Amino acid sequence: AMEKLFSKELHVTVKCRDIRLTDNGDPYFLFNLTISEEDFQTLKVQQGLLIDFASFPQKFIELLNLCYSEQESDSPRFLLYLSCQSPVLEGSATFTVVETNAFKHLNHLSLRLAHGSDNEVKEYLAVCLSSLKVEKQNLYTKLKKTEEDLSRQLSYAQQ
């Protein structure tokens, strides 16, 4: 199954050479890839990359930004494709940055990500939960402050 990425609003996290794919709408959707220098050398040969290991994260982020900047376009030049095994949440997913020009589809980079284990998903969800709790608490604080501020202004205006 081929799937256009941004129809799912996926999140791509690149941290050093750790790549993580998540979906806000699906708590169990978690794919990971850690690229070692050795992995990168294999990838470089297989896919004919010209960049080196040190500049890979930055170049990868630039590619993602190209795709991101064209997500509103009717005929985007750069697209992300995600191809999953069935069922989606077992096994691996292949994540591909594709440029489409008048002649053909060009694969810029293709990465194979493994689905997170139950333990990894569990840890990921605990982090989500903890940051959502902070956001909810901040919202609650803001609500109380807004109520107070506006009530004070209101009672002042009504005097």
CA distance 110 to 97: 6
Token pair in block for residue 120: 């990894």
For 20, the token pair is 């993580």
Q: How far is the CB of 130 from a copy of itself (least distance, A)?
A: 7
User: Do 94 and 82 meet the contact criterion of CB atoms below 8 Å apart?
Assistant: yes
Give 113's contacts (C-beta < 8 A, 6+ positions apart). Answer: 19, 21, 31, 32, 33, 92, 93, 94, 95
Decide: is 11 part of the binding site for a copy of itself (CB under 8 A). Answer: no
Backbone angles phi, psi at 11, to 5 degrees: -110, 130
Residue placing its CB nearer to a copy of itself in the complex, 101 or 158: 158
DSSP state of 85: -
- From residue 12 to residue 31, the character string flagging contacts with a copy of itself as x (rule: CB under 8 A) and all else as - is ---------------xx---
Piece of the chain touching a copy of itself by CB under 8 A; list 32-40, 74-82, 92-100, 145-153: 145-153
The enclosing H or E element of 44 equals helix 37-47
For residue 19, count other CB atoms closer than 10 A to its CB.
20
Query: In this structure, what is the dihedral angle of CA atoms 37, 39, 41, 47, given to the nearest 10 degrees?
Result: -140
Q: Which is nearer to a copy of itself, 30 or 35 (CB)?
A: 30
Task: Report the residue number, 29 or 78, with the smaller CB distance to a copy of itself.
Answer: 29
- Does 9 bind a copy of itself (CB under 8 A)? Our answer is no
Sites for a copy of itself among residues 101-120 (CB under 8 A): 117-119
Interface region with a copy of itself, contact rule CB under 8 A, candidates 4-12, 35-43, 46-54, 133-141: 133-141
Q: Is residue 121 close enough to count as binding a copy of itself by CB under 8 A?
A: yes
Residue numbers at the binding site for a copy of itself (CB under 8 A): 27-28, 117-119, 121-122, 125-126, 128-130, 132-133, 135-136, 139-140, 142-143, 146-147, 150-151, 153-154, 157-158
